Structure formats: structure tokens, C-alpha cells
Chain A
Amino acid sequence: MAKELNEAFYQQLQELQEVDFVLVELNLYLDTHPNDMQALQQYNQLVQQRWQLAQEYENNYGPLMHFGHSYSRHPWQWKDAPWPWQV
């Protein structure tokens, strides 16, 4: 069964990608600035936001990760196209 690729699918995926990228940047920044409280707060806030976005996405379109890091509905959803690199 293929996913329904509507406007919302792309929007949610893009938001997730944006938050993920900012998290990477802040992660690398915090590696060299471990005492920057403001950046740390921003990081933790975004972790929470990412978690919410990921959950919303997975509820609608199936697992983002496999090998036990995401839930799947019946029937097994991991094999459903498109895969992230096909979007």
C-alpha cells in the first residue's frame, strides 16, 4: 500500500527536515560551547518539537526509522514506498 502524498505530507516532512538541520547545527555548536545556556534551551525546545513532528508524521504516514525505533501499524508499514530517498 502506497502512502497518500498530499500537500500535508511534503509540508510535514519539510518541517521535520528543517528542525533536524537546526538540531545538527546546535549540536555541533554546543560541542564547543557547552556552557551556552540559551543555545541549550533552544536545543531542548527543538528536541521536543522534533519529537512532536516525528510522532505526527508517523501517525499519518508510517515509521521514519526501522529496527525498533518506530512503531508500525498492521500490515507492516516499513516496506511502503516512497522511501525517504524517493520523495
Chain B
Amino acid sequence: MIDQVRYYYPYVSPFDPCPPMRVKSYVVPPNLFVSYQPVNLPQNTPREALKLGTLWPIFYSPYPIPGSP
């Protein structure tokens, strides 16, 4: 599985008045890596699907909030 959280290192000005954020992160959705959905993918149960927000496990994104526990 592809790591859904990516990081980049922005330029930090020496005159930055605030404490700089040296690492920033973003989340990529898993559907970006599936061009055309294959047929007969394994499915979640209806209960899991409602909870996770998708019927197919490969499209699940936890959408983690960086820095949160």
C-alpha cells in the first residue's frame, strides 16, 4: 500500500518573524493511484463501508491529521 502522507521541506527565510515550520505534510487520496477501477474488488461489509466511507478497502483513506496522536 502506498503511503498516503507525504512530506516536503519548505524554504525558510532568515527573516521569518515566526518560528519556522521546517516540515510540512499533505495527504494523497488512494483513488489517485487507480486509473480505472478493476471489477470484483474485495468489499467491506455494509457496516464497515458506512463507517469507513467506502465499499472497497483499497479506497480507504484514514486522512490522518499530521501532528495529532
Contacts and interface: CB of A to CB of B under 8 A. Distances in A.
Interface of A: 17-19, 21-22, 25-26, 29, 32-33, 36, 38-39
Contacts of B40: 38
Interface of B is mostly: loop
Interface of B: 36-37, 39-40, 46-47, 49-50, 54-56
Contacts of B49: 18, 21-22, 25
A18 B55 contact: no
A19 B40 CA distance: 19
Contacts of A32: 36-37
A33 B39 contact: yes
Interface of A is mostly: helix
B54 A25 contact: yes
Contacts of A22: 46, 49-50, 55
Contact of B37 (A18, A19, A21, A29): A29
Closest 6 CB pairs between A and B? A18-B46, A25-B55, A21-B50, A18-B50, A22-B46, A36-B39
Given A38-B40, A39-B39, A26 B55 contact: yes
